[in-house]
Amino acid sequence: MTISRWMLSSAIVSLTGVAGAQAACVKAPTYAYNGLVKIEYPSSNGGAQVQRACDVGAQQLAADVMATGKANGVPVRWVEVYGVRRWGSVFHDLIYKTRAQGYQQVAFSKYNALPRTRMSNKEELVYANGSGKYVAMFSYTEGTSTANTADVFVLYGN
Protein backbone atom coordinates (compact mmCIF):
# COMPACT_ATOMS: atom_id res chain seq x y z
CA MET A 1 0.00 0.00 0.00
CA THR A 2 1.34 3.42 -0.84
CA ILE A 3 1.01 6.51 1.30
CA SER A 4 -0.16 9.73 -0.24
CA ARG A 5 1.78 12.93 0.22
CA TRP A 6 -1.16 14.23 2.26
CA MET A 7 -0.89 11.40 4.78
CA LEU A 8 2.85 11.88 5.14
CA SER A 9 2.56 15.62 5.55
CA SER A 10 -0.14 15.15 8.17
CA ALA A 11 2.49 13.44 10.32
CA ILE A 12 4.28 16.79 10.35
CA VAL A 13 1.24 19.02 10.86
CA SER A 14 1.15 18.54 14.61
CA LEU A 15 4.85 19.48 14.76
CA THR A 16 4.13 22.84 13.18
CA GLY A 17 1.12 23.52 15.36
CA VAL A 18 -1.29 24.06 12.46
CA ALA A 19 -3.65 21.36 13.65
CA GLY A 20 -4.45 21.04 17.33
CA ALA A 21 -2.02 18.77 19.11
CA GLN A 22 -3.54 15.57 20.38
CA ALA A 23 -3.02 14.76 24.04
CA ALA A 24 -1.28 11.47 23.16
CA CYS A 25 1.34 13.24 21.01
CA VAL A 26 4.54 13.77 22.98
CA LYS A 27 6.07 17.16 22.17
CA ALA A 28 9.41 16.48 23.84
CA PRO A 29 9.81 12.69 24.14
CA THR A 30 12.42 11.45 26.59
CA TYR A 31 13.06 7.97 25.17
CA ALA A 32 13.21 6.46 21.70
CA TYR A 33 13.61 3.03 20.14
CA ASN A 34 10.87 1.52 22.32
CA GLY A 35 12.43 2.92 25.50
CA LEU A 36 15.91 1.58 24.73
CA VAL A 37 17.72 4.94 24.48
CA LYS A 38 17.22 8.22 26.33
CA ILE A 39 16.94 11.36 24.19
CA GLU A 40 19.40 13.96 25.46
CA TYR A 41 18.44 17.35 24.09
CA PRO A 42 21.23 19.83 23.28
CA SER A 43 21.85 22.38 26.03
CA SER A 44 21.68 25.22 23.52
CA ASN A 45 18.83 23.74 21.54
CA GLY A 46 18.84 26.40 18.79
CA GLY A 47 15.18 25.79 18.08
CA ALA A 48 15.53 22.02 17.79
CA GLN A 49 12.13 20.32 17.84
CA VAL A 50 11.27 16.65 18.19
CA GLN A 51 7.68 15.46 18.39
CA ARG A 52 6.19 12.02 18.32
CA ALA A 53 3.59 12.00 15.57
CA CYS A 54 0.35 10.25 16.41
CA ASP A 55 -2.18 11.59 13.93
CA VAL A 56 -3.97 9.59 11.23
CA GLY A 57 -1.06 9.91 8.79
CA ALA A 58 1.43 8.60 11.36
CA GLN A 59 -0.90 5.75 12.30
CA GLN A 60 -1.23 4.79 8.62
CA LEU A 61 2.54 4.96 8.15
CA ALA A 62 3.03 2.68 11.19
CA ALA A 63 0.44 0.24 9.82
CA ASP A 64 2.22 0.25 6.45
CA VAL A 65 5.56 -0.53 8.13
CA MET A 66 3.96 -3.43 10.01
CA ALA A 67 2.34 -4.76 6.81
CA THR A 68 5.54 -4.43 4.77
CA GLY A 69 7.51 -6.15 7.52
CA LYS A 70 5.05 -9.03 7.53
CA ALA A 71 5.18 -9.29 3.73
CA ASN A 72 9.00 -9.32 3.83
CA GLY A 73 9.21 -11.84 6.71
CA VAL A 74 10.56 -9.20 9.11
CA PRO A 75 9.05 -9.34 12.61
CA VAL A 76 7.96 -5.80 13.57
CA ARG A 77 6.55 -5.47 17.11
CA TRP A 78 6.63 -1.68 17.50
CA VAL A 79 6.79 1.45 15.33
CA GLU A 80 7.46 5.07 16.34
CA VAL A 81 7.01 8.06 14.00
CA TYR A 82 8.64 11.42 14.77
CA GLY A 83 8.77 14.83 13.16
CA VAL A 84 12.03 16.74 13.67
CA ARG A 85 13.12 20.28 12.84
CA ARG A 86 16.65 21.68 13.09
CA TRP A 87 18.09 18.47 14.59
CA GLY A 88 18.30 15.99 11.75
CA SER A 89 20.97 13.85 13.42
CA VAL A 90 18.99 13.06 16.57
CA PHE A 91 17.95 9.48 15.79
CA HIS A 92 21.19 8.69 13.95
CA ASP A 93 23.04 9.68 17.14
CA LEU A 94 20.66 7.66 19.31
CA ILE A 95 20.86 4.42 17.34
CA TYR A 96 24.65 4.51 17.76
CA LYS A 97 24.12 4.50 21.54
CA THR A 98 22.67 0.99 21.28
CA ARG A 99 26.23 -0.26 20.76
CA ALA A 100 26.74 -0.02 24.53
CA GLN A 101 23.90 -2.56 24.87
CA GLY A 102 25.46 -5.05 22.47
CA TYR A 103 23.91 -3.91 19.20
CA GLN A 104 25.98 -3.76 15.99
CA GLN A 105 25.20 -2.30 12.59
CA VAL A 106 23.91 -4.89 10.12
CA ALA A 107 22.61 -4.84 6.55
CA PHE A 108 19.31 -3.00 6.26
CA SER A 109 18.07 -5.41 3.59
CA LYS A 110 17.67 -8.19 6.18
CA TYR A 111 15.28 -6.04 8.26
CA ASN A 112 13.64 -4.01 5.50
CA ALA A 113 10.08 -2.97 6.38
CA LEU A 114 10.24 0.22 4.33
CA PRO A 115 6.91 0.80 2.57
CA ARG A 116 6.98 1.78 -1.09
CA THR A 117 6.25 5.50 -0.97
CA ARG A 118 7.30 8.71 -2.63
CA MET A 119 10.03 9.64 -0.14
CA SER A 120 12.97 11.88 -0.92
CA ASN A 121 16.39 11.83 0.71
CA LYS A 122 15.62 8.66 2.60
CA GLU A 123 18.20 6.99 4.80
CA GLU A 124 18.06 3.55 6.37
CA LEU A 125 19.99 2.13 9.30
CA VAL A 126 19.61 -1.01 11.43
CA TYR A 127 21.41 -2.38 14.46
CA ALA A 128 20.93 -5.91 15.87
CA ASN A 129 22.28 -7.90 18.80
CA GLY A 130 23.28 -11.53 19.15
CA SER A 131 19.93 -12.60 20.62
CA GLY A 132 17.93 -11.59 17.54
CA LYS A 133 16.69 -8.19 18.71
CA TYR A 134 16.98 -5.32 16.26
CA VAL A 135 16.20 -1.61 16.03
CA ALA A 136 15.84 0.08 12.67
CA MET A 137 15.17 3.56 11.38
CA PHE A 138 14.49 5.26 8.14
CA SER A 139 14.19 8.97 7.60
CA TYR A 140 13.23 11.27 4.81
CA THR A 141 12.70 14.96 4.18
CA GLU A 142 9.18 16.33 3.92
CA GLY A 143 8.53 19.81 2.53
CA THR A 144 9.78 21.87 -0.36
CA SER A 145 11.54 24.86 1.17
CA THR A 146 13.73 25.71 4.14
CA ALA A 147 10.75 27.33 5.85
CA ASN A 148 8.58 24.22 5.80
CA THR A 149 11.08 21.35 5.61
CA ALA A 150 11.09 18.79 8.39
CA ASP A 151 12.69 15.40 8.80
CA VAL A 152 10.41 12.44 9.42
CA PHE A 153 11.94 9.51 11.30
CA VAL A 154 10.30 6.11 11.47
CA LEU A 155 11.79 3.78 14.08
CA TYR A 156 10.79 0.15 14.38
CA GLY A 157 11.99 -3.13 15.81
CA ASN A 158 11.14 -6.28 17.63
State the total domains in the chain: 1
For the cut 80, the answer to whether the pLDDT of residue 65 exceeds it is yes
* Mean pLDDT across 84-96: 85
**What rounded mean pLDDT belongs to the chain?**
80
State the pLDDT at residue 27: 80
Ranked by mean pLDDT, the top range of 15-19, 39-43, 98-102 is: 98-102
Amino acid at position 104, single letter = Q
State the pLDDT at residue 10: 44
* Mean pLDDT across 138-151: 72
Q: Residue 51 pairs with which residues in a beta bridge?
A: 83
* Mean pLDDT across 138-154: 75
Instruction: Find the domain containing 127 and state its range.
Output: 5-157
Question: What tens digit of pLDDT does each residue of 115-124 get?
Answer: 876 555 578 8
